[in-house]
Structure 1
Amino acid sequence: MSDYPIEPSAPGRTPGGRLRVLAAMSGGVDSAVAAARAAEAGHDVTGVHLALSANPQSFRTGARGCCTVEDSRDARRAADVIGIPFYVWDLADRFREDVVEDFVAEYAAGRTPNPCLRCNEKIKFAALLDKALALGFDAVCTGHYATVLVRPDGSRELHRASDAAKDQSYVLGVLDERQLAHAMFPLGDTLTTKDEIRAEAERRGLAVARKPDSHDICFIADGDTQGFLARRLGAAEGAIVDESGAQVGTHTGAYGFTVGQRKGLRLGVPADDGKPRYVLDISPVDNRVTVGPAEALDVTALTAIRPRWCGAPPAGPAAYTAQLRAHGEDVPVTARLVDGELRVAFDGPVRGVAPGQAVVLYDGTRVVGSATIATTDRHQEKPAVTV
């Protein structure tokens, strides 16, 4: 990690300055402890729960879903224990337009989106941050596991959390330097396990200490993404074909598949070699899904669009590591900007790369930026893309 001084508690102010902080409280243990730490550090903290669902359910289903009436009540109780003011802000319309409808549209176009990145970009560090700044707050505090470092010139850098196992910098790679200047992540620079965070919550008297973490997509409480999309997009029967174009099965909607998927294909014709087949391509134009062997998923390069930089963009071709999924491993790459698009070449073939996903570049622990994958190169030899 960089030797720059860690400054997670003073965006826009000198070290040790007392800030007006708006703590986003989801009703979970991480955001509650983050708010408590910010208050304990001497900041003037106000808690806010974002009502993101137009029709919140009374109770979540185990660890699935969020933004329920139960969650808002849990957040309010935590704020009462911490001793900070608390409000509920209704951002349901903005969330529906910028996150849910975008999610549906991306799947309809044959892409695989990450709604958590979109929520951080459009809701927590755009709509929420803009409103907070307009009301005179200095920073937005969340329970994300990431670290903001301050360079000697005062500019901010986003880095991985101290504990790599809990690092969430991937879903924050959409934040630009202005947003980082007003971001506070009190959990990111401490080497504490989740059990220790829960123990801290218990010591503080927070009832959410043993509440299950929310998993999967927050607005699909039952975890049935295909069913959710089917209700939005309707059934549309189409063909599943192999690489030669021969039909090997049918489906009720190409949007129900993702590149690299193996389970749930229900193919009527087995492969000649008897090996499993995977989704290689999704074509919304003709509603066709193409399947093939695992080795056909090998990707050697990609082009990504709509790059967002956590500081200055790359000046030229350079070596980085890239993360392609929220909990994926780093892979070495060479990347550069070409006419506003990010061109990335992998040092070796990688799998599980789908259009619509985010590629996030790292320089050591520093997040360079992110972009949305548009196309991939699956040639078996070294790609023609020169970076």
Structure 2
Amino acid sequence: MICLPKNGKPDIFFPFILSILPMKIATTSQRNNTAPKSKIYAKYEKLLAEIEKQKQFKINMAEGLQKAYTKIEHDLLPLEDEAQLLMRDFLIRVDELATQIGVGKYNEEYLVNYMGNELDSLLDIFGHQDAVLSKLHEKYTGYSLDELAADDDAVGLAKSISELVGVDIDVKEMLKKGQEAYFEEFREKFAEQINSRREDFFNNLDTEAENKKKKPGTKKVSDETADIAKDARGIYMRLIKKFHPDLERDAELKEQKTEIVKQVTKAYQENDFFTLLKLQLTHIDDNETDVAARADNMLKHYIKLLESQLLELNQSIHQIHYSNGTTVADFIDKNGKFSPQKFSAQRRRAEKQINQLKTALADSKKRPKGWFKEQMSMIKDIVMQHMMHDMFGDMFNNFR
């Protein structure tokens, strides 16, 4: 609701913006049903409907993300941990057989490419403190831990994170512990720094806003809210005058007007501007063209505010969605709700990967040569797919 004090001068602006969100759009109208709605009123209704829809989406998403977190923690993470350990064993076994059986010059390039990429991913999880993986990584990439810590990309990443959270990042320590474990360990410290920065940011905004109030020519917000108060008062007086039941002799019409006056009075007393505006638009007669024109002029002004509110709401949804990580966000459906179907599909994929890795490792013991040959064929296919994606992915994206 728009907060209009009894003196008629609004004292805040943002509650007005937020007040429009719970508005419900009237599905019936007391206006002449044959009279078409103006384009501006149709746009107004559409914006309110979209805001209501996005508001509900945001509520659903907050609840859905919480459900996703709980399900991931209890059901999915244990499976992913098991799959990662099995993948570690798989890479170690591939290296063992490559050493024992030999790869050949032609296949060596594919093996090096594949092992390097897979070990990069696993080391983000296990870290270089896993001596076996660290040695394998150095074998296939040619880089030691000290060389990786001095790499421009790693240093640049650490610098970017440091600037973001206000905490110095030790590159070597991050690589040694693994990125996931490192950031989990310092999660509370990072959160504390981010919250502190956010608080400083909003304090600065408040200071700037206070300084602007003291300068001439910065009365836009107060003027705008004063206009709202004036419009609300004008609508209230117009409707009360038009539908005052004491001026009606017909008993049935008197009852109808009494109900309208109750609605108008309630909306005005509760500082609910948009309900007042809706009541005016609902009860405009076909011959009141001047009132309709004034209402449309009001709507043009308030539609700009509604569009701004919708933009802010969509930006807020986008920020919430993508700040929670793709793994979590992947389980949110088109209505913002947690999707059990999507989660079940991901769990089945994790279970399938575990079964495949277990079968592959068992098979590598039974028939090492045949198994290794099959794995090299698979590795070549994977590397070729990645190469094709790297070569043509950007090209295809440019055509979209």
Q: TM-score, normalised by structure 1?
A: 0.20
Higher helix proportion: 2
Larger-gyration structure (1/2): 2
Q: Which one scores higher on RCO, CA 8 angstroms, separation ≥ 6?
A: 2
